[in-house]
Amino acid sequence: MTLRPAVPADMPVITEIYAHHVRTGGGSFETEPPDLDEMTRRHATVCDAGYPYIVAVEDKTVLGYAYAARYRPREAYRYAVEDSVYVAAGAAGRGVGTRLLAALIETCTEAGFRQMVAVIGDSENASSIALHRKMGFRQVGVIHSIGFKFGRWLDSVTMQRPLGPGGDSLPPA
């Protein structure tokens, strides 16, 4: 398995991976999968802003993707990023998510970001919570029953980990 930056040619497979998660799980609060044009626009937005967007590939097959983007738009949040990690249904349990998240953490740390936040849909999303915990995140909050999908209420779990020195020192001037 290799990791590399996602390119526009990856977007059809990325769109399929994400559509599966939208249709079958609470990890995304979208209820209808976005089409290829929308996913391509989202990819360009992340990349144009200078954030990492990567894919895990094996034998020319995209097994998963991950990206980081600004946590929130206000200027005071400029040192914080939010991660997103999605693995193809057939690739779950093979370490794809771990490799992708580790690469995001490394890339964002090298870029000078100080905090990474995961906003995980559904408190029953045990695999995502376990992945983030394994990678040094700690749970910092739960918003109970904030989303409604598949005939049930979903929580939103917030996890956080410092990058580099985190908040123990001032950022570079």
State pLDDT tens for residues 62-77.
Answer: 999 999 999 999 999 9
The residue extents of the domains of the chain are 2-117
Cα(42)–Cα(172) distance, integer angstroms: 29
Q: Which residue type is seen at 54?
A: I
Burial class of residue 43, CB neighbours in 10 A (0-12, 13-18, 19+): buried
Tell me: the pLDDT tens digits for 12-22? 999 999 999 99
Cα(104)–Cα(106) distance, integer angstroms: 5
* 2-117 fold: Aminopeptidase (3.40.630)
Per-residue pLDDT of the chain (173 residues), as tens digits, is 999 999 999 999 999 999 999 999 999 999 999 999 999 999 999 999 999 999 999 999 999 999 999 999 999 999 999 999 999 999 988 999 999 999 999 999 999 999 999 999 999 999 999 999 999 999 999 999 999 999 999 999 999 999 999 999 999 87
CB-based contacts of 11, cutoff 8 Å, min separation 6: 36, 39, 40, 43
Indicate whether this model's pTM tops 0.85.
yes
